[in-house]
Amino acid sequence: MTPRAGAGPLRRLVVLRHAKSAWPEGVPDHERPLAPRGRRDAPAAGRALAEIDCLPDLALCSTATRARETWELASAQWGTPPPVRHDPRLYAADVPELLQVVREAPAQAATLLLIGHNPGLEELVLDLAGDGLDNLLDEVRLKFPTSAIAVLTWRGTTWRDLTPGTALLTWMAVPRGKKGG
């Protein structure tokens, strides 16, 4: 099965939901940090992407503390992390807002990592995926929990070419770090 979009190079959009966050009393939602489980799971997400050889050329990350910490811990698992753009539009974004940010990515970035929040990320994956390998679409519909990763592939000349239903969901996982390790 191949990506459905038209001509152009193969591109990958890697969607990563931030790791598990804490709920400290009196802390605004945007400033909530990762919980201990999130601090374990975020590096596991970075290792999982390295293991499947799916490291990004550019990362787009929400400005929320939990998303930024997820990025820092995940990307620390790679030899040389790619550039990152912290974009306030990704915080609490819906599908049109997420897609707008993705479409602004430079054409040179063949693999793009998007780190943000639900429900927007889950809805974006389901909106973009015209199909999925095995039962991956059903898995995303069932649950896209913290630290979940979805990889969408498609063909296009620029990120502006990415439209709903044109990508293939090729991989999905929910990496978890080990307690005490």
CA 51, CA 99: separation in Å to the nearest integer?
27
Instruction: State residue 9's pLDDT score.
Output: 85
Residue 143: pLDDT above 90?
yes
What is the domain partition of the chain in residue ranges?
10-173
Tens digit of pLDDT for each residue in 10-64? Answer: 999 999 999 999 999 999 999 999 999 999 999 999 999 999 999 999 999 999 9
Q: Cα-atom radius of gyration of the chain, to the nearest Å? A: 15
Tens digit of pLDDT for each residue in 68-121? Answer: 999 999 999 999 999 999 999 999 999 999 999 999 999 999 999 999 999 999
Amino acid making up residue 127: D
Which residues, including other chains, have CB under 8 Å from residue 69's CB and lie 6 or more apart? 18, 19, 33, 34, 38, 39, 42
The answer, yes or no, to whether the previous bond of 56 is cis (omega within 30 of 0) is: no
DSSP 49-82: HHHTT---SEEEEESSHHHHHHHHHHHTTSSSPP
CA 44, CA 19: separation in Å to the nearest integer?
10
Nearest partner of 146 among 179, 180, 124, 118, judged by Cα: 118
Among the residues of the chain, which ranges form H helices?
Answer: 36-51, 65-75, 95-103, 120-128, 136-142
The domain defined by 10-173 folds into Rossmann fold (3.40.50)
Instruction: State residue 1's pLDDT score.
Output: 41
